[in-house]
Amino acid sequence: MTLTETRTDAVAPSASAAPRRQADAPALFEADDISIAFGGIKAVDGVTFDVAAGEIFAIVGPNGAGKSTIFNLISRIYEPTGGRLTFQGQDITNVPPHTIARRGIARTFQNIELFEHATVLDNLLIGRHCRAKPNIFAEMLFTPGVRRRELEHREAVEEVIDFLDLANYRDQRISGLPYGVRKVVELARALCARPKLLLLDEPASGLNTEETEEVAFWIDDIKNDLGITVIMIEHDMSLVSAVSNRVLALNNGRTLALGTPSEVQSNPAVIEAYLGGEAP
């Protein structure tokens, strides 16, 4: 049994138990005092958290709390004005944005950013980009090597298609797909990158109850079967408490609370931020 497996087993808790991350196990991802300001307004202000391998970590908060901004900081779309991001012990605060995927971080977007005019299959194949080593001259000749690698990518993609049950949509264009399917395709595309850490931006928004339950199962499977650590932003507290181990609550870019779902839900500051009234 290898060391990593041991750690995954030790930390992977069932949703009901949800213990704190052990202080001795090194974190997979750490955000240390990160901040970003847009024209004087601090969208994220000194937020610190860490995520252990095998954990499902949720970020909650009202609109404009800075949740998506944190994701955009992790994917390096924004330059942080302060703080440090660490992934697998490496500082990723200032690496070029396109290297994030190869390091093992994949994400979805709040407003679905799929490649509209391509098929589902092509979208998923683009998800493999960070695992491909394109050689443009070989590709123009479509050498046997290129053909072989294409088949390998295709097999990897088909695994994900099986996993998320997308076979029916394989050859359809995104622009003709219903919203719920698009959400799944975007999740699939992120999985095709074979990430170690998956960032899900509101995976259940716009979905009905059944679809939300399905998403909950998938997130569980992603953690348990694929061994992928998940950070998700979510409004649906029932989904958050069903799947996540720990929750970070934000308001106005600052940390309100950090702990198990029940701890956070009963935190007076969180209740006040959500209901705008006095805590009971």
Partner 1 sequence: MELLQLLVGGVAQGCVYGLIALGFVLIYKATEMVNFAQGDLMMLGSFVALTFIGTMGMNYWLGLLVAALAMAVFGYLLDAIVLRRIIGQPQFAVVILTISIGFLFRSAAGFIWGHETQNFPETPFTNRVIDAGGVILSLEHLSIIAGTLILAGLLYLFFNFTRLGNAMQAASQNQLAAYYMGVPVKHINSLIWALSAIVATIAGVLFAPVSLVDPSNGFYGIKAFAAAVIGGFGSLIGTVLGGLIIGVSETMAARYLPPGFKEIVAYLIMLGVLIVRPHGLFSTLQRKKV
Partner 2 sequence: MRILFKTSYLDDIRLFQHSGQVFWYGLLTVGLLLAPFVLGDFYVGELSYVFVLAIAGVGLMLLIGYTGLVSLGHGAFMAIGAYTNTYLITKGVPFLIAFPAAGLAALLAGVLIAVPANRMTGIYLAIATLAFSQIVEQLVIRWESVTRGFQGMPVPAPELFGHALARPWEFYYFCLAVLILVVLAAINLTRSPTGRAMVAIRDSEISAQSLGVNLVQYKTIAFALSAGITGLGGALLGHKMRFISPDAFNILLSIQLLLMVVVGGLGSIHGAILGAIFVGGLPQAIALMRDYLPPTIARTPGLEPGLFGVVMVSVVLFEPLGIYGRWLKIKAFFDYFPIYRRATFKRQRSYLKTERVR
Give contact residues for partner 1 (rule: CB under 8 A): 68, 72, 77, 109-111, 113
Distances (CA, A) of 278 to 64, 92, 261, 269, 271: 21, 40, 20, 9, 8
Closer residue to partner 2 (CB): 18 or 198: 198
Q: Does 194 bind partner 2 (CB under 8 A)?
A: no
Residue 167 three-state SS: helix
Q: Does 101 bind partner 2 (CB under 8 A)?
A: yes
Q: Does 145 bind partner 2 (CB under 8 A)?
A: no
Q: Could you count the other beta carbons within 10 Å of the beta carbon of residue 249?
A: 25
| Among partner 2, partner 1, none, partner that 110 touches (CB below 5 to 8 angstroms by kind) | partner 1
Among residues 11, 51, 85, 114, which is the contact residue for partner 2, using CB under 8 A? Answer: 114
CB of 118 to partner 2, least distance (A): 5
- Residues in CB range of 143: below 8 A, 6 or more apart: none
Closer residue to partner 1 (CB): 14 or 111: 111
Backbone angles phi, psi at 138, to 5 degrees: -60, -35
In what side-by-side order are the strands of the sheet with 229-233? 105-107, 197-201, 229-233, 56-60, 246-251, 254-259
- Give residue 117's identity as a one-letter amino acid code: H
d(CA 87, CA 76): 13
| Among partner 1, partner 2, none, partner that 134 touches (CB below 5 to 8 angstroms by kind) | partner 2
- State the residue for tokens 């399905």: 214
Q: Could you count the other beta carbons within 10 Å of the beta carbon of residue 95?
A: 15
| Among partner 2, partner 1, none, partner that 68 touches (CB below 5 to 8 angstroms by kind) | partner 1
Closer residue to partner 2 (CB): 201 or 236: 201
Closer residue to partner 2 (CB): 19 or 97: 97
In the complex, the residues that contact partner 2 under the rule CB under 8 A are: 75, 77, 96-102, 106-107, 109, 113-118, 121-122, 125-130, 132, 134, 136, 139-142, 146-147, 150-151, 153-155, 158, 175, 189, 193
